[in-house]
Chains A and B, each alone.
Chain A
Amino acid sequence: MPDQTGLELVAQRVREAVGDEAVVGTHHAYDRGSLEVAPARVHDVLTHLRDADEEPYGVLASLHGCDYLPSEPRLGVHYELLSMQSRERLNVKTRVTVEDPHVPTVTDLFPTADFHEREVYDFFGVVFDGHPDMRRILMPEDYEGHPQRRDFPIGGEPVLFTYNEKKLPNWYG
């Protein structure tokens, strides 16, 4: 993990290479450096960090979504970057609103993001523009809503059995 100074240096390099408005802020806590970027510039920032930066992060270890309900913008997308050479991790995150949940896809940079982005779309409704196959991945295709959002209630869904499948809404047409 880069320390506080290292994180600021990374942020500085990203600002110089990609643009001043790309980096929204830096957070460093619990030995974890986090670079918050503007949603529209995610692709550019990750391109820079993967290819052009002097400490490149070649692997996308994980990508996950998060809902920070009371605070705005509500939805967060986290990119956990990993450098196998320097054995360092860097978190890049971006925040989008529920009304306009659009983030450019990074599947062209990191093909591993394919499933991850579909999962984030499935559970949080964040649309990754340019993703080749933006469909639900774990929930049924005809499911309504994005269940990992914090305002989505837990439970209350009837369980589908053979005896009740005709009575359940949205199942038999």
Chain B
Amino acid sequence: MADVKGASYRERERSITMDIAGDEPIIGTDVATGADLEPEHELMTINLGPHHPATHGVLRLLTTIEGETVTDIKPIIGYVHTGIEKSCEDQQYWKAITFVERMDYLSYYFNAAAFCMAVETLLEEEVPTRAQYLRVIHMELNRIASHLFWIATAALDIGAVTMLWWGCRDRDMVLDLFEMSSGQRLHTRYFQVGGVFEDIPPGFERKTREFIEAMPARLDQYAALLDRNEIWLRRNKGTGIVAVEQLLELGVTGPLLRAAGNPWDLRKAMPYSCYEDFDFRIPVGTVGDNYDRYRVRLAEVRESLTIVEQALDGLPEGPWITSNRKVALPPRHELATSMEALIHHFKLVTEGFRVPPGEAYVPIESPRGELGCFVVADGSAKPARVHMRDPSFVNLQALAPMGEGGLLADFIASIAMLDPILGGIDR
């Protein structure tokens, strides 16, 4: 056994698991010639997943380990591929919104927003400012909900069961708000092409402000539980580090990239949906390890709270959906008195609206990075192609560099901190 006194925890762990035979390497003998073989360590290939809580969905990782050290990782995906992109080609544009929301099932508002914005680009449709603000409010609330669910499940992987209950408890407050504004808690289909489905109901603002008021104290509780927790620090500090240049080559965006020190955030860099009206900061990390990823995401929740508050303060009066009757349904009360409104309603519901031929790629900043929606229109009422550049799908490529060379237990932490959503990866 090597002298491990004074060595760090990680080196000691390595020495325990790697050098079972002491300093002597295991040397085999060739049966035919009797000569010594090259010293070799035993490699073992194991499947992490597909059905394992730590893989956050049906993700299979073909992992080669040498003792406790991970030497190779091959992600195998496609287990929850449901052909949403193909199904969208058979739906009218306004019906396809329902489908795209089900891709990344934790950030449904973002999927819908990316798709609606792509269609609006093709239609050259102006979205009223109130609708933009309502979208920002809901997207940021969704970002909070997504990050809360992430911290709940990620902390569970690392052994902090309390965090699961706390995270889900506080996410529920956001889902209550979604239920108020749209009637649904998940997959709300609140965003429409041209605006949002309905104005926010009375009481929504008060409830949201209550949430904004309550949340910072909850975040302080999380910080008190985790920030200096010894287990949390040992599992996350210095693990899963990938250099920022490599992250950029791998196309990684979102909190993973920001944790490595690159402040790329589409909300600031290429503002859309009135994000330029709001004053917020972009949290960045320094080292790019799992601990930075955790800190960056929780700091983002605080920033999202300020954005929601600013949007509520500055929420302009006006329509919440475009007045173009060729795109948006007429208000319900008009149907009883206006023949024209009835015709528009009938045409929109039966045939949908036609989109002139063209191509659009609209990227937005989802909780996991750049979510781009690519829509090709062929002039009919159904899209010819809908593609989501899902951040989870691209970020998953960074999993191998994060895990290789580290311990298997650190790799589990890296999966958790990567925040893969398999619905988004497989679509």
Binding site for B on A (CB under 8 A): 29-32, 34, 58-62, 64-69, 78, 80, 84, 87, 89, 91, 110-112, 114-116, 119, 123, 136-140, 147-148, 150, 152, 154
Cβ contact within 8 Å between A137 and B389:
no
Q: List 13 A-B contacts (CB under 8 A).
A: A29-B358, A31-B121, A58-B248, A61-B372, A65-B387, A66-B387, A89-B363, A110-B249, A111-B250, A112-B249, A112-B394, A112-B397, A137-B77
Cβ contact within 8 Å between B269 and A87:
yes
Cβ contact within 8 Å between A84 and B251:
no
Closest 10 CB pairs of A and B: A112-B251, A62-B389, A138-B78, A138-B81, A64-B387, A111-B249, A66-B385, A30-B121, A112-B250, A62-B372
Cβ contact within 8 Å between B78 and A30:
no
CB 8 Å contact bits of B286-313 with A (1 = contact, 0 = none):
0000000000000000000000000000
Cβ contact within 8 Å between B250 and A64:
no
Tell whether B374 is near chain A: CB-to-CB under 8 Å. Answer: yes
Residue of B nearest to A93 (CB): B359
Of B82-90, B190-198, B212-220, B273-281, the one with at least 4 CB within 8 A of chain A: B82-90
Tell whether B393 is near chain A: CB-to-CB under 8 Å. Answer: yes
Cβ contact within 8 Å between B250 and A147:
no
Tell whether B110 is near chain A: CB-to-CB under 8 Å. Answer: no
Q: Which residues of chain B are within 8 angstroms of A78 by Cβ–Cβ distance?
A: 359, 361, 374
8 A Cβ contacts from B63-117 to A? 77-78, 81, 83, 85-87, 89-90
> Would A147 and B83 be within 8 Å (CB), given that A80-B389, A112-B250, A154-B90 are in contact?
yes
> Would A34 and B389 be within 8 Å (CB), given that A112-B397, A147-B86 are in contact?
no
Tell whether B370 is near chain A: CB-to-CB under 8 Å. Answer: yes
CB 8 Å contact bits of B379-408 with A (1 = contact, 0 = none):
000001101010001101100000000000
Identify which of A30, A84, A115, A136 contacts B269 (C-beta below 8 A).
A84
Cβ contact within 8 Å between B363 and A61:
yes
> Would A59 and B361 be within 8 Å (CB), given that A64-B374, A67-B385, A115-B397 are in contact?
no
For the complex, what is the distance from the CA of A74 to the CA of B90, rounded to whole Å? 19
Identify which of B86, B370, B426 contacts A61 (C-beta below 8 A).
B370
Identify which of A62, A136, A137 contacts B361 (C-beta below 8 A).
A62
A69, A112, A114 — most chain B CB neighbours (10 Å): A112
Q: Which residues of chain B are within 8 angstroms of A139 by Cβ–Cβ distance?
A: 78, 81
Cβ contact within 8 Å between B270 and A87:
yes
Q: Which residues of chain B are within 8 angstroms of A140 by Cβ–Cβ distance?
A: 78
Tell whether B122 is near chain A: CB-to-CB under 8 Å. Answer: yes
Identify which of A32, A89, A154 contacts B87 (C-beta below 8 A).
A154
For the complex, what is the distance from the CA of A136 to the CA of B89, rounded to whole Å? 21
Tell whether B412 is near chain A: CB-to-CB under 8 Å. Answer: no
CB 8 Å contact bits of B225-269 with A (1 = contact, 0 = none):
000000000000000000000001111100000000010100001
Q: How far does the Cβ of A89 sit from chain B's closest Cβ, in whole Å?
A: 8
Q: Which residues of chain A are within 8 angstroms of B250 by Cβ–Cβ distance?
A: 111-112
Q: Which residues of chain A are within 8 angstroms of B374 by Cβ–Cβ distance?
A: 62, 64, 66, 78, 80
Q: How far does the Cβ of B399 sit from chain A's closest Cβ, in whole Å?
A: 11
Residue of B nearest to A64 (CB): B387
B85, B264, B394 — most chain A CB neighbours (10 Å): B394
For the complex, what is the distance from the CA of A139 to the CA of B262, rounded to whole Å? 34
Add 18 more A-B contacts to A139-B81, A148-B385 (CB < 8 A).
Answer: A30-B358, A31-B121, A58-B248, A61-B363, A62-B394, A64-B387, A64-B389, A67-B384, A78-B359, A78-B361, A80-B372, A91-B361, A112-B252, A112-B397, A115-B393, A115-B394, A138-B77, A147-B83
Tell whether B131 is near chain A: CB-to-CB under 8 Å. Answer: no
Tell whether B360 is near chain A: CB-to-CB under 8 Å. Answer: yes
Tell whether B376 is near chain A: CB-to-CB under 8 Å. Answer: yes
Q: Which residues of chain B are within 8 angstroms of A152 by Cβ–Cβ distance?
A: 86
For the complex, what is the distance from the CA of A64 to the CA of B426, rounded to whole Å? 15
Q: Which residues of chain B are within 8 angstroms of A58 by Cβ–Cβ distance?
A: 248
Tell whether B126 is near chain A: CB-to-CB under 8 Å. Answer: no
For the complex, what is the distance from the CA of A139 to the CA of B427, rounded to whole Å? 11
Identify which of A32, A66, A80, A148 contacts B86 (C-beta below 8 A).
A148
Cβ contact within 8 Å between A30 and B124:
yes
Q: How far does the Cβ of B50 sit from chain A's closest Cβ, in whole Å?
A: 13
For the complex, what is the distance from the CA of A93 to the CA of B396, rounded to whole Å? 25
Q: Which residues of chain B are within 8 angstroms of A64 by Cβ–Cβ distance?
A: 374, 387, 389
Identify which of A80, A111, A136 contacts B397 (C-beta below 8 A).
A111
Cβ contact within 8 Å between A80 and B361:
yes
For the complex, what is the distance from the CA of A68 to the CA of B89, rounded to whole Å? 13
Q: Which residues of chain B are within 8 angstroms of A87 by Cβ–Cβ distance?
A: 269-270
